[in-house]
């Protein structure tokens, strides 16, 4: 389904990655201990596991939203060297349930020029829609669009297609994967659907009993 | 014009009417009679005691006694601010921030009004200083308490919204900006309303008291305007300081929202 993406650096821990890889070292939050992993630029790392296994907590820790131990790097930039909001501006977390604080959709975007509206099935008039009237599927797609406007340097996606019908989910997947490969964002993608993981993942880790384990190569590879 | 002397039996007559009111509400089973009587008794006892204290204070007029009285008033006001909040900052921060905000605003505005504007001799003369400070503290306390309550309760309820804004890379000031504005507004609203309604809808209590006590209305009006402005300044700056410090305290050095710094439930 996807073209072979240009890999900018090798995978693996401490692989001397200079350009834009997301690297976690000694991350510990809740039951999870000593998580070390590297997501290369443009790579999609899928994360699965039963509810409550700590997938969302791990993403929140990477985005530095909860107190935890360990350090994260984006390329050569250590998280500790940046202010919290500067890190989150680069490493953008999209939660499973998005929140909206202003009245109109457009108020949540930095400017009236939003790329990708059409690709996700919207038009420019969408920006004038009141948030109240959005369906949960529309909210989810707009939240994804909001999270990549302006562009981040890495993405953390928490079940980004959970509220979408199968056809729309495929469309959003394609759009996301294309953007990720094109911009070279290292991406951690929490997903439940094995078929989806097979479609989007370069690598698949399962989170079980506080441990991350390789779930083998995705089926298509 | 002299002051018409008020005898105790005349006060007793007013008290009798309050008791009659409580009796009526009890007969109608409205359930407020008891608290009405307790509050009325507290008013009588507290004001009588403070009257005695003020008599002694006016007689001595020493600076350290005035300062002690002012400090006592401040600490009690700080306690009241904490008591009026459903979710308060833990570890003494709620009391500390509220008290510091009231100290900075009420004390400096009161001292400024005394030294520069009213100019009694000496400047801390208790007849002027204590009532002025009392009025400032009372109003600042209400403003600070309302604003802090709105801020902490709002942060608790809107946790997901604030965190989603953080996830999008907003600095903490921006992520909690709407709440800070709401908190400022609710803290200042009683003062703004009082200024807007003064003289048209209501005659302010101090002015009424002065006129009843024999002061010429023109002079009473001037003092009332001064007091209104002083109260507005005290409430405004106090609320500003309290909201700034408390909202900062809700985040840590990494700009994470730390709601565990709020006590989890009301008492």
What would the pLDDT profile of A188-210 be if each residue is shown by its tens digit? 999 999 999 999 999 999 998 88
Residues of chain A positioned with their CB less than 8 A from the CB of B169:
85-86, 88-90, 92, 152
Residue A68 forms contact with B (CB below 8 Å): no
| Res B191 pLDDT > 80 | yes
Q: What pLDDT band is residue B185 in, cutting at 50, 70 and 90?
A: very high
How large a percentage of chain B has pLDDT more than 70? 97
pLDDT of residue A3: 38
Does residue B147 share a domain with residue B88?
Answer: yes
Residues of A in contact with B252 (CB under 8 A): 67
Q: Which of B161, B178, B255 has the CB atom closest to A85's CB atom?
A: B255
Lowest mean pLDDT among A172-186, B1-15, B75-89, B101-115: B1-15
Q: Name the band, by pLDDT with cuts 50, 70 and 90, for residue B2.
A: low
Residues in B touching A93 (Cβ below 8 Å): 167
With contacts defined as CB-CB under 8 Å, which chain A residues touch B164? Answer: 95, 98-99
Among A79, A80, A76, CA closest to A15? A76
Residue B184 lies in a domain: yes
* Confidence at residue A216, expressed as pLDDT on a 0 to 100 scale: 67
Does B95 reside within a domain?
yes
Verify that B141 and B167 share a domain, yes or no: yes
For the segment B40-49, the average pLDDT, to the nearest whole number, is 92
What is the domain count for chain B?
Answer: 2
A53-109 pLDDT, tens digit each? 899 999 999 999 999 999 999 999 999 999 999 999 999 999 999 999 999 999 999
Mean pLDDT for the stretch of residues B212-237: 90
Please name which of A48, A25, A56 lies closest in space to residue A208, comparing C-alpha atoms. Answer: A48
- Tens of pLDDT, residue by residue over A15-58, are 333 358 999 999 999 888 889 999 999 999 999 998 888 999 99
- The pLDDT assigned to A113 comes to 86
Pair (B142, B16) in one structural domain: no
- Is A92–B171 a contact, with Cβ atoms under 8 angstroms apart? no
What distance in Å separates residue B182's CA from the closest CA in chain A? 14
**Which phi and psi angles does B73 have, rounded to 5°?**
-60, -40
Residue B225: give the domain boundaries: 61-261
Chain B, window 141-160: residues with a beta carbon less than 8 angstroms from a chain A beta carbon: 160
Give the residue from B201, B100, B184, B113 showing the smallest Cα distance to B150: B184
> Could you tell me if residue B117 is inside a domain?
yes
Q: Are residues B34 and B76 in the same domain?
A: no
More confident residue, B125 or B6: B125
Average pLDDT, chain A: 87
B77 and B35 in a common domain: no
A221–chain B nearest CA distance, Å: 33
DSSP letter string over B193-249? HHHHHBTTTB--HHHHHHHHTT--HHHHHHHHHHHHHHHHHHHHHHHHHHHHHHHHH
* Backbone phi and psi for residue A216, each to the nearest 5 degrees, phi listed first: 85, 170
Q: Which of B164, B172, B255 sits opposite A95 (nearest CB)?
A: B164
Query: What is the pLDDT, as a whole number, of residue B188?
Result: 95
Domains and CATH numbers, chain A: 22-104+152-214 (3.40.50.300)
Taking residues B171-200, report their average pLDDT: 93
């Amino acid at each position: 389904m996807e073209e072979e993406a240009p890999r900018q650096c090798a995978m693996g821990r401490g692989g001397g990655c200079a350009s834009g890889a997301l690297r976690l070292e000694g991350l510990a939050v809740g039951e999870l201990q000593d998580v070390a992993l590297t997501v290369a630029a443009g790579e999609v790392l899928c994360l699965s596991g039963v509810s409550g296994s700590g997938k969302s907590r791990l993403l929140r820790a990477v985005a530095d939203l909860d107190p935890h131990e360990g350090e994260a790097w984006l390329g050569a930039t250590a998280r500790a060297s940046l202010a919290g909001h500067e890190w989150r501006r680069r490493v953008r977390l999209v939660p499973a349930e998005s929140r909206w604080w202003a009245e109109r959709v457009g108020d949540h975007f930095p400017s009236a020029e939003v790329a990708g509206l059409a690709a996700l099935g919207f038009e420019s008039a969408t920006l004038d829609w009141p948030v109240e009237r959005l369906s949960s599927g529309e909210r989810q797609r707009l939240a994804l669009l909001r999270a990549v406007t302006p562009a981040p340097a890495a993405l953390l996606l928490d079940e980004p297609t959970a509220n979408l019908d199968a056809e729309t989910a495929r469309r959003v997947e394609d759009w996301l994967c294309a953007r990720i490969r094109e911009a070279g964002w290292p991406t951690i993608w929490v997903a439940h659907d094995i078929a989806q993981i097979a479609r989007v993942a370069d690598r698949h880790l399962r989170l079980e009993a506080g441990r991350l384990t390789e779930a083998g190569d995705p089926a298509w590879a | 014009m002299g002051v018409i002397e008020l005898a105790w039996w005349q006060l007793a007559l007013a008290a009798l009417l309050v008791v009659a009111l409580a009796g009526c509400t009890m007969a109608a089973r409205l359930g407020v009679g008891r608290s009405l009587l307790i509050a009325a008794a507290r008013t009588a006892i507290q004001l009588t005691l403070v009257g005695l204290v003020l008599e002694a204070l006016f007689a001595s007029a020493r600076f350290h006694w005035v300062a002690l009285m002012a400090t006592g008033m401040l600490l009690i006001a700080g306690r009241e601010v904490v008591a009026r909040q459903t979710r308060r900052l833990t570890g003494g921060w709620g009391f500390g921030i509220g008290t510091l905000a009231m100290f900075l605003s009420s004390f400096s505005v009161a001292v400024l009004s005394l030294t520069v504007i009213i100019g009694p001799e000496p400047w801390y003369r208790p007849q002027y200083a204590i009532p002025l400070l009392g009025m400032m503290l009372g109003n600042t306390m209400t403003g600070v308490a309302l604003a802090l309550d709105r801020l902490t309760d709002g942060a608790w309820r809107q946790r997901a919204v604030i965190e989603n804004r953080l996830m999008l890379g907003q600095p903490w000031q921006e992520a909690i900006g709407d709440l800070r504005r709401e908190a400022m507004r609710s803290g200042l609203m009683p003062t703004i309303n009082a200024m807007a309604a003064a003289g048209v809808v209501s005659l302010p209590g101090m002015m009424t008291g002065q006129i009843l006590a024999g002061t010429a209305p023109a002079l009473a009006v001037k003092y009332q305007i001064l007091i209104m402005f002083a109260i507005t300044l005290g409430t405004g700056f106090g609320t500003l300081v309290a909201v700034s410090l408390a909202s900062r305290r809700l985040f840590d050095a990494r700009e994470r929202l730390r709601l565990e710094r709020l006590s989890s439930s009301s008492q």
